[in-house]
Amino acid sequence: MTAIAETPVDDLRARVHDAARAARVAATVLAQATRETKDAVLLGMADALTARAGEILAANEQDIATGRANGTSDAMLDRLALSPKRIDAIAGGLRKVVGLPDPVGEVLRGGLLPGGLEVRQVRVPLGVVGMVYEGRPNVTVDAAGLALKSGNAVLLRGSSSAERSNTALVAVLRDVLVAHDLPADAVCLLPCHDRASVRHLITARGLVDLVIPRGGAGLINAVVAEATVPTVETGVGNCHVYVDQRADLDRAEQIVLNSKTRRTSVCNAAETLLVHADIASAFLPRILRALAEHGVTVHADDTTLTAADGMSHVVPATDADWDTEYLSLDLAVGVVGSLDDAIAHIAAHSSGHTEAIVTDDVSAARAFTARVDSAAVMVNASTAFTDGEQLGMGAEIGISTQKLHARGPMGLVELTSSKWLVWGDGHIRPAS
């Protein structure tokens, strides 16, 4: 576990808590905002991001240059990098959120009780949501947009590696809030150079209603272990693709390549491929050649090593490889004797994010989906589809791998709670 640093000075605590207090005031305003108002702000934010792309990209270039000078890995630089196309996509995510129903005020259940009480359970905003995340400036906008639409204020604690990018993005978002007569403190960027600011955020009970850590295992484990504010565990993706004995091999190859190579630095990228022994002799040589063409290093079990027949990109797997989230052009590959063995392997090594089966056998697919205990399970589809936008939720604030409150991609609904509204007419409860 990566421990969060001890608090060095009280001033930083005061800054974080002052921001949280300001966010709580802003949250009371947002909770009463109409859908029309919130949607107008989101559209204004989307337009402003594209209009001010030049200053955002200039800030991002400075972050990229600093990252390279500090020896940051290519995978992390890819997460950090913005481009005109990526900014357009981020703005497009906000526009998609505009088209989604507003969850606030939705009646979950209720009705008129026999005694005449009118009872309703309705969705309400959580209040103040804290985000702790690493090196992905798109999260800054996604979190702000989803928080706004669901009536929440958001405290953003990004990493120092993206400081300039996040500062530029938040400046744009806050300007749009002010232009629409909403409090700028609905979106606040916290100090990022001292890890103590994370501690002050995640222990701010009474000021912060939920913290969502989004990043590597060290960050997530530290936040979950040390937080006194409720948290949602997100993100680590040791995702599996299992190619069953009755798989279409052309389809299987496409799914494996897309799951692994589409974008290696994201949590829904496949990190392990399991192949049924009955088709291993037919499938392994072709998939190993295809992976070589895409520059993937294969960490292979003994059967896969034999099938590789000396291919230079295939190396022996270690025990640690089966538990590794590579976030790079690396893939662990193993052969299993049965569907049961594949499910057992996944149960032993998965992070609970996303698993996929490729098969033409409906009974095998049903068994896989019923028995694999992960947030998302794919049948004949790439693991890359575990994404809020791809699943029709608009932008996502994270992918929960826990089981309480939210699981899988977290969108608007997952940023709400509920309360009971009870209307009477002088009703009193008799003494028991």
What's the confidence (pLDDT) of residue 404? 81
What's the confidence (pLDDT) of residue 3? 44
Percent of the chain at pLDDT > 70 equals 97
Judge whether 207 and 21 are in contact, CB under 8 Å: yes
CA dist., res. 1 & res. 218, Å (int): 6
Domains of the chain: 10-233+402-422 (3.40.605.10), 239-385 (3.40.309.10)
Ordered DSSP codes for 54-66: HHHHHHHHHHHHH
What's the confidence (pLDDT) of residue 1? 36
| Predicted TM-score of the model (pTM) | 0.85
What's the confidence (pLDDT) of residue 132? 95
What's the confidence (pLDDT) of residue 282? 97
What's the confidence (pLDDT) of residue 10? 76
What's the confidence (pLDDT) of residue 83? 97
What's the confidence (pLDDT) of residue 394? 66
Q: Which residues of the chain have pLDDT under 50?
A: 1-8
